[in-house]
Amino acid sequence: MSRTTPVGERIGRVAGTWFPLIVLAAGAVAILVPQAFLPLGPAINTLLGIIMLGMGLTLQPVDFRVIARKPKAFAIGVVAQYVIMPLTAIGLATAFQLPPELLVGVVLVGSAPGGTSSNVMVYLAKGDTALSVAMTTASTLLAPVLTPLLVLWLAGSYLPVDAWGLFQSIIFIVLLPVIAGVVLRMLLPKLVQAILPWLPLVSVTGITLVVLAVVAGSAATILSVGLLVALVVILHNGVGYGLGFLAAKAVGLDTSARRAVAIEVGMQNSGLAAGLAKTHFSPEAALPAAIFSVWHNISGALLASFWSRRPPQDAPQHAATEDAVVS
């Protein structure tokens, strides 16, 4: 790395590189000393709002040109996000006979939009980063409507689901901060450009605090049923990668687009799922999201590392999106 690289950019890259290990360490510490992090619980939704504000700050019109260039790839990615992951969630939760609180937590994870850390993983995997950013943004903007409806449909017979409450929470946690970020970038472009290199660090810090809070609140449940939930989470994530890749291949997308769709479908905004679970259900319902937050960053990094050593042969390598925000 050049000595002339701005300090914010250097710190942001380091934070993004070590993110999986940071989250893993945070989860372990929260299990060992949960009482120390319980006070973070009420701040979960605020932290998520800050992360989504950061996502909004990175967006600009050029990010959406890919929709016109690759409408089929964009459409299959967004549809797969809200079909594969929710249906896989309810299938696994019922197959493993999870109790209602954990079942709704798995469904919440499956019904959440794509996580913004997927953009970083797609870039590292030599996938279509522009396509990944567009899919993340679209699934995030659709979340206020689709996430509550999917949770109500799939989990409503197991636990009472306040779909209107979920809708309102997602509006305040996701949609308004993203819009605020976009507006701020339009009104204060020079200021936003100056802070962009720091956003990965802000996002890593935010999601780490969310993991600490959620895992601390679910520590007792993790120790009793954690292995079973972890198995469900690992399968859920893996099926997302696999079916996402196959769906993209089935419609004839090139290799870089297949990688983008696979990672985008497999990686979820589990922080949002954890916040919604804690707000509208119970700490136990947040457990699948807490484990998913740790696992999908580890698996995503491993998958990206594997693909990074195998550059796509059927499409030009896509330029890096350095403004990608880790989530």
Would you kindly state where each structural domain of the chain is located, as residue ranges? 24-31+39-308
Mean pLDDT along residues 55-80: 83
**233-243: average pLDDT:** 96
Angle at 218 between CA 34 and CA 283, to 5 degrees: 125
Q: Looking at residue 248, what is its pLDDT?
A: 94
pLDDT at 308 over 90: no
Q: When comparing pLDDT for 119 and 259, which is higher?
A: 259
pLDDT value, residue 17: 63
pLDDT band at 1 (very low <50, low <70, confident <90, very high): very low
Q: What is the percent of the chain where pLDDT is above 90?
A: 27
Q: What is the dihedral of CA 51, 46, 166, 142, to 10 degrees?
A: -20
The Cβ of residue 157 has, within 10 Å, a number of other Cβ atoms equal to: 9
pLDDT higher for 286 or 116? Answer: 286
Which stretch of 6-15, 133-142, 151-160 has the lowest confidence by average pLDDT? Answer: 6-15
SS3 assignment, position 155: helix
Whole-angstrom Cα Rg for the chain? 18
Q: Cα-Cα-Cα-Cα dihedral of 269, 132, 190, 15, to 10°? A: 60
User: In the prediction, which pLDDT does 11 show?
Assistant: 61
Q: Which two tokens stand for residue 53?
A: 């504000």
Q: Cα separations (Å) of 1 from 17, 22, 92, 124, 211?
A: 13, 22, 44, 16, 30
Q: How far apart are CA 1 and CA 16, in angstroms?
A: 15
Q: Is the pLDDT of residue 231 over 70?
A: yes
Contacting residues for 151 by C-beta, under 8 A, at least 6 apart: 104, 107, 108, 111, 161, 163, 166
Binning pLDDT at 50, 70 and 90, where does residue 300 land?
A: confident
Q: 141 or 222: which carries more pLDDT confidence? A: 141
**Chain segment 157-172, per-residue pLDDT in tens:** 888 888 898 888 888 8
> Mind listing the pLDDT tens digit for each residue in 172-188?
888 888 889 888 888 98
Residue 225, Cβ density class (10 Å: 0-12 exposed, 13-18 middle, ≥19 buried): middle
* 23 pLDDT above the threshold of 80: no
Token pair of 133, please? 């950013």
Alpha carbon 258 to its chain's center: 18
CA distance 277 to 287: 9
Please enumerate in sequence order all residues whose Cβ is within 8 A of that of 13, keeping only pairs 6 or more positions apart, or say none: 1, 200
Sorted by sequence, the CB contacts under 8 Å of residue 23 that are 6+ apart come out as: 207, 208, 211, 293, 294, 297
Give the Cβ contact number of residue 21 at 10 Å.
12
Q: Mean pLDDT in the chain?
A: 83
CATH class of 24-31+39-308: mainly alpha
Looking from the CA of 288 toward its CB, the CA atoms found within 13 Å total: 36
Question: pLDDT at position 170, please?
Answer: 87
For CA atoms 95, 108, 227, 236, give the dihedral sign: positive
Residue 190, pLDDT above cutoff 50: yes
pLDDT band at 87 (very low <50, low <70, confident <90, very high): very high
pLDDT digits (tens, 9 = 90+) for 256-273: 999 999 999 999 988 889
Q: Read off the pLDDT band of 218 (50, 70, 90).
A: confident
Q: What share of the chain is helix, strand, coil (3-state, %, to 5)?
A: 80, 0, 20
pLDDT confidence of residue 51: 81
